Chain A
Amino acid sequence: MTFERLVSDASSLVPGSHASERASSKGTASAGRVRGSSSSRSASGFCFVRSSLTLLVLTLFSCDGASAARGTVLVRTSGGVEAREGIAADRTIDGFAIAFDHAVLALDDFTVRTQLGDDARVMADPAIVELVPTSAETWRFDGVPAQRWDDVGYVTAPARADARRLGVDDAIADAMITNGWSSYYEGTLTAPDGAVFPFAFGFPVTARYLRCRSGTDGGFGIAVPENGTAEVEISWHLTHLFFDSYAEDSALRAEAMAASVSEGETVTLASLAAQPLASLRGLGGGPLRDDSGFPVLYIPPAEGAETLADFVLAARFGHFNGLEGFCTTELVR
């Protein structure tokens, strides 16, 4: 084996050399497979070159993290109890009951990595998922190296035409693709006096959920068991649509949304844009007040918000393996 040949073979073991492989295969893949690993080679010839390059190969190979033991990762997407039962009136601070007819999520990617840079290179094709009334099996990745992967994340982005459709109405999926929405929510707000206000929100945002910490064991990412299955849930918490604060203590509130339209009209992001946070209006047309008679303050996200539409669009809904699982997020509007 020549020096050049040996170097060429060694380069195939460098993790980054698979980037182009992944890029070329991602567009067509829907099955959850991962790339294989390579084996080390021996060399003959000059002792110094041999020993040095063997050391190099072993060093790089050891960085790859590949092992023979493999398992499966099964990813479900769930809207939780709210997707099935809505939000009862006694859970909101203003007595509004909330029901969801549709909660649709456009998932663009799912990544399984370690924080030291190893990448399982699962190939997650885009999917449009209906969360009402129950969870959906979104991806299944076989052949994932059995180990802890402590840098796991996912991306929601404007729906793509080539996305798989999982339980979603074609009309809704088509609207999401046309309008560039990454999620869509449709349902009703029912006021304490029985007045009903339909709502329909399409979110034109990209949100990356990174370095997720599991709600089941508190650890980063997932542990893939040998010849077993690591079950993962993207927990989409629909209550976030109705939080009145980005601070720690927030309440669920819907009157400000309902008051953005007349009874029978549909609440939309456009109607919420007509509700300035500095002077929110209640159903009677006057200032929105709390039980003590004071004006209601929605505490905006760190980047600020001028209207109720700005406020809602900054929401992050995604948890990881239950509501106690959190991810770091990057939001692009």
Chain B
Amino acid sequence: MRWLCRSTIVCAVWIGVLVVGACESGTGAPLVAVETRLLPIAERDGALGHGSAGEWRVELDEARVLVGPVYLHAPPSTPLLAHLRAFFVSTAHAHAGDDNLDGVRVLGEVLDPLAFDALDDAGTSFGPMLAEASTLDRVVLVLDEPRGEHAIPTGPTHGHHAWVSGRAVRGDDEVRFSAGLDVIDDRIARRVEGVRFASPPTLVEGARVVVRSRPGRWLSRVDFDALLQADHEGEVTAPSQLHHAWYLALRDPSSWELALETP
């Protein structure tokens, strides 16, 4: 009888181990050290910060944006873990669940924003971080508000979320401009979500996640004709068509590219 009880207990333990093991096979990936880096990318046959807006040629002298937090996401799925997360974590929804990332696993994150100079070839690094050695599907960038040294008027973005200055030229016409962009305090409005891989790779030790920005596209939808007709000079005051077009470009996933460099 004692033997039977012992056997039953051993059997029950094994069954328990098997059942628990079968419940979630996606956990347990080791952590690896990776680096996330922001780099600028020039438009075809152009210098950094050079682009076009219709018939206008645009040349940026300054192009900076505060980027961060940054989240590295696994592919969307609905394993048991995601269900458990949804069970335990209450999620707010703007309208009928328009949050595409609810329940999607985060492999790694950096929380402090950086001032990214999109005209600096060297780029900007968030430094080393630990991330789960798993499939990386996409990177989510948050265009957060300036804080601390970034919030002052003499800061890299003049106290705004982003800053540009430069000129637009069309024949003999020229419009010189500068502008600061502020984004409303809303989780959707500040998020760039669709920066993703066509074929998601796997994070490995020493990998570098490279997010490239195309500053030459930031103002490609600006109506410089209207600024010319208004005899604009100096800083463009928000809200304006320039600010709207610039904001939409920053939120447009096609303004960014994603790559993974492995050692």
Partners in one complex: yes
B120 at the A interface (CB under 8 A): no
B17 at the A interface (CB under 8 A): no
How many angstroms between the C-alpha atoms of A65 and B84 in the bound complex?
17
| B interface residues, tally (CB under 8 Å) | 50
Q: Provide the residues of chain B in CB contact with A317, threshold 8 Å.
A: 96
Q: How large is the interface on A (under 10, 10 to 19, 20 to 34, 35 or more residues)?
A: 35 or more
Q: Quick one: closest B residue to A220, CB to CB?
A: B87
A278 at the B interface (CB under 8 A): yes
Q: Are A328 and B248 in contact (CB under 8 A)?
A: no
Q: Provide the residues of chain A in CB contact with B12, threshold 8 Å.
A: 55
Taking a contact as CB atoms closer than 8 A, the residue among A59, A318, A326, A327 that contacts B19 in the complex is A59
How many angstroms between the C-alpha atoms of A47 and B19 in the bound complex?
23
Fill in one digit per residue for A287-318: 1 if any B CB lies within 8 Å of its CB, else 0: 10000001101011111111000000010111
Taking a contact as CB atoms closer than 8 A, the residue among A56, A278, A305 that contacts B245 in the complex is A278
Taking a contact as CB atoms closer than 8 A, the residue among A116, A246, A287, A297 that contacts B98 in the complex is A246
Q: Quick one: closest B residue to A246, CB to CB?
A: B188
Taking a contact as CB atoms closer than 8 A, the residue among A51, A151, A210, A248 that contacts B8 in the complex is A51
Q: Provide the residues of chain B in CB contact with A56, threshold 8 Å.
A: 15
Least Cβ distance of A103 to chain B in Å? 15
A150 at the B interface (CB under 8 A): yes
Taking a contact as CB atoms closer than 8 A, the residue among B80, B188, B249 that contacts A247 in the complex is B188
Fill in one digit per residue for B87-118: 1 if any A CB lies within 8 Å of its CB, else 0: 10001011111111111000000000000000
How many angstroms between the C-alpha atoms of A28 and B7 in the bound complex?
48
Fill in one digit per residue for B1-40: 1 if any A CB lies within 8 Å of its CB, else 0: 0001001100110010001000000000000000000000
A144 at the B interface (CB under 8 A): no
Q: Quick one: closest B residue to A331, CB to CB?
A: B100
How many angstroms between the C-alpha atoms of A51 and B83 in the bound complex?
33
B202 at the A interface (CB under 8 A): no
Chain A residues 182 to 238 lying within 8 A of chain B, measured CB to CB, are 209-211, 220, 237
Fill in one digit per residue for B60-96: 1 if any A CB lies within 8 Å of its CB, else 0: 0000000000000000101010011011000101111
Fill in one digit per residue for A239-278: 1 if any B CB lies within 8 Å of its CB, else 0: 0100101111110000000000000000000000000111
Known: A237-B96, A326-B96. A210 touches B248 (CB 8 A): no
Q: Are A51 and B4 in contact (CB under 8 A)?
A: yes
Fill in one digit per residue for B219-254: 1 if any A CB lies within 8 Å of its CB, else 0: 001110010000000000001110011011101111
Least Cβ distance of A65 to chain B in Å? 14
Q: Are A279 and B186 in contact (CB under 8 A)?
A: no
Q: Quick one: closest A residue to B220, CB to CB?
A: A278
Least Cβ distance of B90 to chain A in Å? 9
Q: Are A116 and B83 in contact (CB under 8 A)?
A: yes
A36 at the B interface (CB under 8 A): no
Known: A51-B7, A52-B8, A294-B239. A115 touches B252 (CB 8 A): no
Known: A247-B184, A303-B253, A304-B253. A316 touches B194 (CB 8 A): no
15 A-B contacts (beta carbon < 8 Å): A48-B4, A52-B11, A115-B86, A211-B83, A237-B95, A247-B189, A278-B249, A279-B221, A295-B240, A295-B241, A302-B188, A306-B252, A326-B95, A329-B96, A329-B100
Binding site for B on A (CB under 8 A): 47-48, 51-52, 55-56, 59, 63, 115-117, 150-151, 209-211, 220, 237, 240, 243, 245-250, 276-279, 287, 294-295, 297, 299-306, 314, 316-319, 326-331
* A-B residue pairs, 5 tightest by C-beta: A278-B221, A302-B193, A247-B186, A278-B245, A329-B97
